[in-house]
Amino acid sequence: MDREAGAAAGSPSGTDPQGGSEALRQERLAKRDRLRTRGVDPYPARFDRTATAAELHERHAGLAPDTRTGEIAAVAGRIAAIRGHGQLVFATLQDASGAVQLLVQRTGLADAAAAVVESWDLGDWVGAVGEVVTSRRGELSVEPSEVMMLSKAVRPLPDKWHGLNDPDTRYRQREVDLVANRDTRRVFDIRFAAVAALRRAMEAEGFVEVETPILQPQAGGALARPFFTHANALDIDLSLRIAPELYLKRLVVGGYERVFEIGRNFRNEGVDTRHSPEFTALEAYQAFADFRDGMDLTERLLVAAADAATGRRTFTSGERVVDLTPPWPRVDLLDEVEALVGRRLHPGDPRADVAAVCAELGMEVQPEWGSGKLIFELYDAVLLPHITRPTFVCGFPVEVSPLSRHSADDPAIADRFELVIDGREFVNGYSELNVPEEQEARFRAEIAAAARGDLEAHPGDLAFVRALEYGLPPTSGIGIGIDRLVMLLAEVSSIRDVILFPMLRPEAGPPA
C-alpha cells in the first residue's frame, strides 16, 4: 500500500509528505546505501544501552578537564549537532534524559566504524560504546571505540538553532516539533505528569478507574452536539460520547461506590484556542457525598496535579497571575449576580424582568430561554470572564442543570458548582439527581426544548431512568477539563499546544 501517493502533488505550504527537498533526501539515502554496501545495517534490531545521558552526568558531575574515568558506557540517542575537526569529531547525542557529547577519535576506529561516523547526519539515531572522559574544555564525553547506526534519518530536521516555527507543520508533524522544540516536550511532559498525578490521587482516594462506551446509541450527560458514526454489524447509527456521566452513574447504581474515568469526549462544535472537538475529561462519582464534597475533592486533585507536574502553585496567563493555593473561595451565583446588576434575580422571576436586565447589559438572548437560562447566560457572559483566582461558584438554576439534584432550600436552584479559574470553567460538579421520576420529568422538559429547536437539549435516556429506578445512592459527581488544566499548568494559551495531534484539515484536500 502506498500511503503517500494520494498526497504527493501540489501540497500546500511545504508540508508535502513526499518532501520538497528531494535532493537532501537523496543525499541521505545514498549515505545509507553506502553503509549497506559495506555490510552495515542502517536499521539494526537492537542496541544494548548501559547508560543514559543523565545518568552519566549524575555519576560524573564535576570532573576536571581531560579526565579518563576508565568506565565504559554504551549510549544511544539522536545526533543533535556535529562539530568536525578533521580526525576528531564532536557530536551531541540527545536521548530522552538529556544530552552527552561523543568525542570521536577517528584514527582509533576500525574502518567500518569510521565509515559509520562518516555517514552521520543530524537526526540519525546512533549508538556508541566507549570510555567516559572529559574533554580538554571539561565537557563530559563518551570516547567511542565502537559506533553503530541505529536508524538512519533520510529526512533533514529543522534548523538546530531556530527550531520549527510554522504552526501548521508543528501540529501536523508533531514528531518533528518534539525533536526540534524543547518547549514542546516540556508542555507534554507537564501534561502526562499531571494526568499520572490525578490517577495516583484518585487511587489514593479509593476510586476505581473504569471504562465506559465511547460509541453510544444516544449521547448524553452534557448539553452538546455529538458526532455520528455507523456500526455495520448492527446496522445502527451511533454517537460518539459527549460525556461519560450517565454510564458512570449506572456503575454507582451497580455498587461501584467510587469510580472515575479519564477519557476523550467528542463535541461537534467550534474549534478555537479554548475548544477542541475531542478533549479529555476526568469524571468522578462518589456515593454518599454531595456537591460540597465534590468541591473538596476538586481542590485536592488540582493541587496534587500542579504539585506533581510543576512543583509550583502560581502560574501566569497572559498578564494575569493565578494562584492555586487552597482553600478557594466559594460564592453563590445569585449573590454574585445581585452584586453585579444591583438587584436580586431568581429563576422564579417573570422571564420578561430577567430578560430586561440582560438587555440592559447588551446581551443577545434567545426567545426560548427561560429565566433560569437567562441568569446562567448572564453569569457566563458577564461574570465568569472576570473571575481570575480559583473560585467555586455555587447554586445554578435547575433549568440549566438537568442531571443535578435541586437544593433542599429552593427547588429552582441546583446543588451544583463550577470551578472558575482565569475566566474559564475548569470543573463542573453537582449532587447527582437520583429521584427517577424527577429525572424523567427533566428529560421530558429537554425533549420539549429539542422540539422547539434547541440542538443542545439533553436527549431523554430511558435506560438511565430505568437504572435510577434500581436506586442511585446519594452521589457527588465532578468533571474536570484536563486540557484546560494543562494549559494553565504549562502556561500556554492555545488548546492545540496541549493536544499532541490536534484536529486539522487533511493535508491534501480534494482537487479544487
- What is the Cα–Cα distance from 444 to 461, expressed in whole angstroms? 10
Count of residues engaged in binding RNA, rule: CB under 7 A:
82
Which CB sits closer to RNA, 26 or 325? 26
Closest alpha carbon to 95 in 52, 155, 159, 139: 52
Following DSSP, what letter does each residue of 202-228 receive, concatenated? HHHTTPEE----SEESS--SSSSPPPE
Contact 126, 150 (CB under 8 A): yes
Q: Which of residues 32-71 bind RNA (CB under 7 A)?
A: 66
* Angle separating helix axes 333-341 and 371-378, nearest 10 degrees: 70
Q: Where are the beta strands (DSSP E) in 167-269?
A: 208-209, 215-216, 228-231, 236-240, 258-266
Residue 222 C-beta: closest distance to RNA, Å: 6
Choosing from 50, 87, 229, 316, the residue that interacts with RNA (CB under 7 A) is 87
Closest alpha carbon to 226 in 214, 236, 208, 212: 214
Helices (H), 258-388: 291-310, 333-341, 351-360, 371-378
101 is a contact residue toward RNA (CB under 7 A): yes
Phi and psi at residue 393, to the nearest 5°: -100, 125
Which CB sits closer to RNA, 165 or 325? 165
Choosing from 4, 8, 14, 441, the residue that interacts with RNA (CB under 7 A) is 14
Other Cβ atoms closer than 10 A to 454: 17
* Angle separating helix axes 371-378 and 351-360, nearest 10 degrees: 20
Which CB sits closer to RNA, 165 or 314? 165
Choosing from 9, 61, 64, 408, the residue that interacts with RNA (CB under 7 A) is 9
Which CB sits closer to RNA, 37 or 232? 37
Which CB sits closer to RNA, 78 or 258? 78
Which CB sits closer to RNA, 253 or 497? 497
Contact 80, 122 (CB under 8 A): yes
Burial class of residue 475 (count of CB atoms within 10 Å of its CB; 0-12, 13-18, 19+): buried
Helices (H), 361-461: 371-378, 436-451
Q: Which stretch binds RNA (CB under 7 A): 13-21, 252-260, 338-346, 470-478?
A: 13-21
Choosing from 13, 18, 316, 325, the residue that interacts with RNA (CB under 7 A) is 13
Q: Which stretch binds RNA (CB under 7 A): 32-40, 87-95, 329-337, 465-473?
A: 87-95
Which CB sits closer to RNA, 84 or 254? 84
Which CB sits closer to RNA, 349 or 377? 377
Which CB sits closer to RNA, 274 or 292? 274
Choosing from 154, 223, 301, 498, the residue that interacts with RNA (CB under 7 A) is 223
Parallel, antiparallel or unpaired: strands 98-105 and 140-151: parallel
Which CB sits closer to RNA, 236 or 271? 271
Q: Which of residues 127-186 bind RNA (CB under 7 A)?
A: 135-139, 141, 156, 158-169, 171, 180
Contact 414, 442 (CB under 8 A): no
Residue 174 C-beta: closest distance to RNA, Å: 12
Reported as type and span, the H/E element at residue 486 is: helix 482-490
Q: Which of residues 444-463 bind RNA (CB under 7 A)?
A: 456
Residue 367 C-beta: closest distance to RNA, Å: 14
Residue 503 C-beta: closest distance to RNA, Å: 8
Q: Which of residues 384-413 bind RNA (CB under 7 A)?
A: none
Residue 231 C-beta: closest distance to RNA, Å: 24
Which amino acid would we find at residue 271?
V
Closest alpha carbon to 146 in 55, 75, 41, 78: 75
Which CB sits closer to RNA, 94 or 253? 94
Within 8 A by CB and 6+ apart from 34, the residues are: 115, 119
Which CB sits closer to RNA, 158 or 477? 158
Residue 326 C-beta: closest distance to RNA, Å: 21
Tracing cell 453563590 back to the chain, one arrives at 332
Q: Which of residues 256-285 bind RNA (CB under 7 A)?
A: 267, 269-270, 272-277, 279
Which CB sits closer to RNA, 253 or 499? 499
Choosing from 6, 10, 327, 471, the residue that interacts with RNA (CB under 7 A) is 10
Choosing from 428, 431, 475, 476, the residue that interacts with RNA (CB under 7 A) is 428
Contact 395, 388 (CB under 8 A): no
Reported as type and span, the H/E element at residue 417 is: strand 413-421
- Euclidean distance between the first and final Cα of the chain, in Å? 26
Choosing from 105, 229, 316, 325, the residue that interacts with RNA (CB under 7 A) is 105
What is the x/- site pattern for RNA, positions 473-512, by CB under 7 A?
A: --------x-xx--------xxxx-----x-xx---x--x
Q: Which of residues 300-359 bind RNA (CB under 7 A)?
A: none
Residue 388 C-beta: closest distance to RNA, Å: 16
Phi and psi at residue 402, to the nearest 5°: -70, -10
Residue 20 C-beta: closest distance to RNA, Å: 4
